[in-house]
């Protein structure tokens, strides 16, 4: 069992007999090492930090060797704030936060490890947000080029439109944000869109519904790769009640 020095520091759980015991990672195959997070202006904060916090906590508890690249067109901090383009100029809102990329799209495509072999991304996470309404051609090209090299791709909310426009969802099942359903699904006429779903798994592509669903797809994916006990232990440590049933989706009816 992999134990962590940090486990006892995380949350002052009462010392009762039923205190959860950290499970071992049951999967002995080669596990993902290199995670990539694609960001662009006007990304949705929770689409990014929901999945990231699940992975941060998993990494902390399980002493994983995983590492993260935050990928963007340029290295300037990337904001959640709506951009002043014709499409997003309705609110003039300045309220938001920034994330600092670690590598550009161009460099991520050519990245090499110390031994000279390609530093491919094992798991690529693609958030949504207002910025997906822009052409974002570099981001779409990046997904198209990177997809054959990744082990998994996880999209959150309208991040699925980036996958759809790259063509990788053609003929596959996927879901996306329910409030933006009509626009979002129009970006992928050849996609088999699933309306009532919190998340959808099709091969190595995991897509989720709006915003907070990114947390649930990440837990589901974590359970798939590292074991359900591991995913449940991380969710208990985060005091998060997981959404277990992927086809239970009240928001599909609310926004239809
Ligand atoms: C993490 O794993 C390494 C290698 O197995 C070990 O040397 C180290 O003590 C572990 N750290 C923690 C915090 O468990
Ligand atoms: C955004 O709105 C402001 C204020 O109405 C206007 O001055 C500006 O030209 C608009 N920008 C774009 C790109 O539409
Ligand atoms: C173990 O992880 C691999 C690689 O991510 C995955 O393909 C496989 O389904 C996992 N196996 C189990 C039993 O969870
Ligand atoms: C999952 O939710 C759907 C929709 O509410 C329901 O029909 C189905 O029975 C549920 N599945 C399980 C295993 O509970």
Q: Please report, for the chain, the start and end positions of each structural domain, with discontinuous segments joined by +.
A: 30-254
Beta strands at 34-38 and 123-126: parallel, antiparallel or unpaired: parallel
**Confidence at residue 68, expressed as pLDDT on a 0 to 100 scale:** 97
Higher pLDDT, 85 or 127: 127
Q: What is the pLDDT of residue 34?
A: 96
Check pocket membership of 245 for ligand 4, CB cut-off 6 A. yes
The predicted model scores a pTM of 0.88
Give, using CA atoms, the residue closest to atom 14 of ligand 4: 245
Query: Phi, psi at residue 52, to the nearest 5°?
Result: -65, -40
Expressed in angstroms and rounded, the spacing between residue 163 Cα and the centre of ligand 4 is 27
pLDDT tens by residue, 65-124: 899 999 999 999 999 998 877 766 666 678 899 999 999 999 999 999 999 998 999 999
**Residue 3 in this model has a pLDDT that exceeds 80:** no
Ligand number nearest to the C-alpha of 84: 2
Proximal ligand: closest to the CA of 221: 3
- Confidence class for position 1, pLDDT limits 50, 70, 90: very low
CA of 52 to the centre of ligand 4 (A): 28
30-254 fold: Rossmann fold (3.40.50)
In whole angstroms, give the CA distance from residue 166 to residue 145: 9
- As a whole number, the mean pLDDT across the chain is 92
Whether the CB of 84 sits within 6 Å of ligand 2: yes
Taken in order 176, 177, 181, 186, is the CA torsion positive or negative?
Answer: negative
């Amino acid at each position: 069992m992999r134990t962590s020095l940090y486990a006892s520091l995380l949350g002052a759980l009462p010392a009762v007999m039923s205190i959860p015991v950290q499970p071992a990672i049951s999967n002995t195959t080669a596990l993902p090492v290199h995670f990539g997070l694609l960001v662009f202006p006007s990304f949705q904060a929770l689409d990014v930090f929901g999945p990231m916090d699940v992975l941060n906590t998993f990494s902390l508890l399980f002493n994983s060797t995983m590492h993260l690249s935050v990928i963007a067109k340029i290295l300037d901090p990337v904001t959640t704030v709506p951009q002043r383009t014709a499409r997003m100029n309705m609110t003039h809102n300045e309220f938001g936060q920034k994330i600092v990329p670690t590598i550009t799209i161009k460099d991520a495509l050519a990245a090499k490890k110390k031994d000279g072999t390609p530093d491919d991304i094992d798991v690529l996470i693609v958030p949504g947000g207002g910025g997906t309404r822009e052409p974002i051609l570099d981001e779409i090209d990046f997904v198209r080029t990177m997809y054959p090299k990744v082990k998994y791709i996880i999209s959150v909310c309208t991040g699925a439109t980036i996958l759809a426009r790259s063509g990788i969802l053609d003929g596959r099942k996927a879901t996306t944000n329910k409030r933006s359903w009509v626009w979002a699904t129009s970006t992928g006429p050849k996609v088999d869109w699933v309306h009532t779903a919190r998340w959808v798994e099709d091969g190595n592509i995991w897509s989720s519904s709006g915003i907070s669903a990114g947390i649930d797809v990440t837990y589901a994916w974590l359970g798939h790769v590292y074991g359900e006990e591991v995913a449940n232990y991380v969710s208990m440590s985060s005091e998060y009640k997981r959404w277990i049933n992927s086809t239970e989706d009240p928001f599909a009816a609310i926004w239809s």
